[in-house]
Structure formats: structure tokens, C-alpha cells
Structure 1
Amino acid sequence: MKTSENGNYAGKVALVTGAGSGMGLATARAFAEAGASVVLADANEKSVRAAAEKWISEGYKALAIYCDVSDDAQVAAMVDRTVSTFGRLDAAFNNAGVMAKVAETADSSLEEFDRVTNINLRGVWSCMKHELRQMLRQGSGAIVNCSSIGGMRGNPGIPSYIASKHGVIGLTRTAALEYAAKGIRVNAICPGTIDTPIARDVVSGDEKAFDALSRSSPIGRIGKPEEIASAVLWLCSPGASYVVGHALVVDGGLAAR
């Protein structure tokens, strides 16, 4: 097995939603390589099951769970199964999310607004609720919620997505204040443009448009999922023990403009 540069998570249990691809998959892998028992949750059961089976064959501890985070009962069952399998829950990355269909506010539909916010915002609330209950029983834990640089500014054409990501930061700061004195740290991460299936869907697979996104970044390139994983593992680690209620921007400099 690899020796991870992201700290030692031996004996710890980590849960990652949206773990079927992109940032979630990379973060789950990073937790596994750092020694954690990892739960990969996703609405795409085939993807997480394939990843878990591969990692188990390599000597890691992994469990795949189907979960639609917009369904509170499924989220509760996900956390219950995590604890029944591995005994505890030390770190969670609430990463499951979707992009909105492009439409200006006056042209967007109620159905689309509900679809996006039910997953991106209510799903994060639901995950935190059940994770926090377990962490309270333990008296410890760390949660990282996935927002976006879109959670810190506007972006024409995707109002429901922007609203959901702003909401994630509000939920994060509130929960951080509620549980900081109880041994649980809650933070958010705000990725910029990262090379994920969602990012490529935004440009409909147009490589020229994707290259233009790379050039628009001050650092001159698109971010890698592994770079988000490193930030998440740091936020969950003892090295970030005094970091509470923070929205960490990892965007190659976009928000500095």
C-alpha cells in the first residue's frame, strides 16, 4: 500500500458522499491510502462498488453504499451502516452534488431549483445531521462540506446551484458554532474549476472550451481532484485542530481577482 502524504488516519473511519467519481473518489482514495477505513457512498452504486472491490483487493478497508442524499432515510441508513461495519465515524466529506441546467433566473423552473437544492443543500444538511449525532456519541469528529467558489459570488445562468453553494457555507458556519465546544469541527471547502465529469459536462465535452477554462485561471491550469483531496484530509486532521467554521478556497487564484 502507498504511504500517504496526507497524514496518518490509521484506525479512523471516513465517509465520503459523491464518491463515484471526481473529487469524492479521489478523497476516498486519499483517506484509504492514509490508513482509514473508508465508506464510499453514491447514487451510482456500480461506480463505488467497483472502486471498493478494487481497493479491498489492494489491502485497503472499504465499503460501498448506495445513497441518494436527498432522501433523509437513506442518509440515516448510510451512517448507521458505516458505524455497524466499522464501529465509529471520525471524518466525513459531504461532497455529493449536481450542476444546474443553464437558465437565467426568470427562465428557470421550480423542478430544477428543487432538484439542485435537494441534493446540494438539503443533502448536506441531512448528512451533517446524522453524522453529528454519531460524532456526539463519540465526543469527536471532523466534517467537511463541499461548497464552491460559486458559494462566495454570483454566476449568471445557474441560480439554483449558486444559491445551494451559498447555503452550504451558512450551514457549515452554523453547525461549526453549535458543535465546536463538543469536540467536533465543521468546515467547508470551496473548489474552483476542477477536472471532474461535472466540469466537463458544463462545456458539453468541448475540449477547446475546457482549455479556455484552464487559461482563465491565474495558475494557468485546471485543478486536480487530488488537490481537493489533500485539502479535505488536512481539514479533517489534527493539523487543522484550530480551524473551525472556515470556507477554504482551493481555486488556483480565481477568487483573488
Structure 2
Amino acid sequence: MTDMLTGKVIFITGASRGIGAAAARLFAQEGAAVVLASRGTEALERIVKEIRAEGGVADAVALDLSSTESIRAAISRVEELHGRLDGAFNNGAVIQQPGPLDTTGDEDIQQQFEVNFRAHWTAMNAEAALMRAGGGGAIVNTSSIGSRRANPALPAYGAMKRALNSITETAAVTWAPQHIRVNGITPGGTATEMIDAWEAATPGVVDRITASTPMGRMAEPREIAEVAAWLLSDRASWVSGAIIPVDGGAGA
């Protein structure tokens, strides 16, 4: 480890599995005090115990991304625990029921709006308020390769992730005078539980994603987390407003 996050307090949403869980372990190994947030608190507690057993600093907080009150309460808990916030990895998301545009129902669209767009809007504002009080910080939002192009299989998901890219860029410009950097990452196919659920609903999707990836495989969650860690570190001090592909060349 390089200790590139030593001394930083970092909040992570969607931390109970996949990219979020990988980020929790990596950020702690890199020296950060991490606060893990998710609806699945039992899974969070297992990760917290693992990090503490290795000498790291970690806490868990329940979070329902569909509730603005829950989001604000979780970030208030970060302030109670540490008195400040240096970095936030807004990684929590939900995938829609796969299907074409004309069969995507109102319920899917509403859920995508609440969790994949509005939740990030709410979280970013609350995170930035706490960061301003401490003199600045960095935010990284997990978007998707599906935000960069037509997304026939997941139209509502792709639309909300593209909207997330927009507010990421706007926040970077808006908050730069307060020394808050904001960036996004757009992962391609990654071996997570979310992809497992998509494969179950649409058999063969993993093979199709792998075939369309020049590097010829799915990413491991830690490979995505490594990019987020760098963006949250001081080594990325001149990077803000970027939407960075992390997709093995699939978007090239």
C-alpha cells in the first residue's frame, strides 16, 4: 500500500458489496478512516470488523438511498464520528429491470430517478456542506459506461447515469472556489452482484459484455476502486470535472 489516503475521512455508499465493498477495504488499507453506508447493515458490519481486525478505522451507518432524510442523517453521522469529511465515494445504485424503452414501466423510471439521480444530488450537497466547513474535499460519483451511449437494454438506468454525469461536471465548476473537487467514473462490465442479477434476468449478457471489451474480460471490483482511490487522493489535486472511463477499452 502507498498510504495515499492517510489522514482522510471518507464516506462510501453502496459499501456492502461489489465495488463499494472493494473500495471500503482498499481505502482503509490506504490509510483512510472509512464510514460505510448501505441498506444491508449486517454485511457492512462484517466488513467493518475485517477492517478493524487489520488495524484500520471503520464504522457503518444504515442508508436508504431512496430517502433524502436517510441520506442527510448518514452524513450527519459522519460529522458526529469524525467532525469532518475529506472524501465521498457515491457508489450506491440500483439496476432497472432489463427491457426496451417502450416496455419500461413508470415504477422502474421512478426508482431509477430516486436512487441513481436524486440520491446523488442530495448526497453531494450534504457532503459538500461538511467539506466546506473543513476547507475542502473530493467527491467521486460512480456512473456507468451505459451513460455514454445508447443503452437499449437499460434505458432508464442509462438516462439517470447520464444525468449524473451532468451534475458531476456542474458541481465541479460550482464548488471549485471552495476547494472541492468532483469527478465521475464510468465502469464497464464488472464482476459484481448487480451483473449477476442482470445475467439471471438476461442469460448470456456476461458473455456479450466480455466479447465487447477489448481486454477480453470483466473487471474485478477492486480495479474500479483503485481509480476512485486515486481521484480522492491529493495525487489527483488538479483533476476535477472529469468523467473517467474505467472499462477495459469498451468505450473506445
Deviation of 1:12 (Å): 1.1
Deviation of 1:208 (Å): 6.0
Q: 2:168 matched to 1:183?
A: no
Q: 2:2 matched to 1:22?
A: no
CA root-mean-square deviation: 1.5
Once the two structures are superposed, residues 128-187 of structure 1 have per-residue CA deviations (whole angstroms, 9 ceiling, x without a partner) of 010011011112100001111111111113111011100110110111010112110000
Q: 2:111 matched to 1:112?
A: no
Q: Give the letter for the 2:141 counterpart.
A: N
TM-score by length of 2: 0.96
Alpha-carbon distance in structure 1 between the residues aligned to 2:160 and 2:208:
26
Alpha-carbon distance in structure 1 between the residues aligned to 2:98 and 2:7:
44
1:94/1:124 contact within 8 Å kept:
yes
1:69/1:126 contact within 8 Å kept:
no
Deviation of 1:251 (Å): 0.2
Q: 2:123 matched to 1:127?
A: yes
Alpha-carbon distance in structure 2 between the residues aligned to 1:97 and 1:78:
16
Q: Residue 32 of structure 1 corresponds to which residue in structure 2? A: 28
Aligned pairs for 1:132-143 (under 5 A) are: 132-143=128-139
Aligned residues: 252
Identity of aligned residues (%): 37
Deviates more, 1:210-219 or 1:177-186: 210-219
Q: Residue 88 of structure 2 corresponds to which residue in structure 1? A: 92
TM-score by length of 1: 0.94
Q: Residue 195 of structure 2 corresponds to which residue in structure 1? A: 199
Which of 144, 150, 161 in structure 2 is aligned with 1:148?
Answer: 144
Query: What are structure 2's unaligned runs of at least 5 residues?
Result: none
Deviates more, 1:208-217 or 1:73-82: 208-217
Query: What are structure 1's unaligned runs of at least 5 residues?
Result: none
Alpha-carbon distance in structure 2 between the residues aligned to 1:83 and 1:34:
21
SS of alignment partner, residue 200 of structure 2 = coil
Q: Give the letter for the 2:22 counterpart.
A: A
Deviation of 1:70 (Å): 1.8
Q: Give the letter for the 2:71 counterpart.
A: V
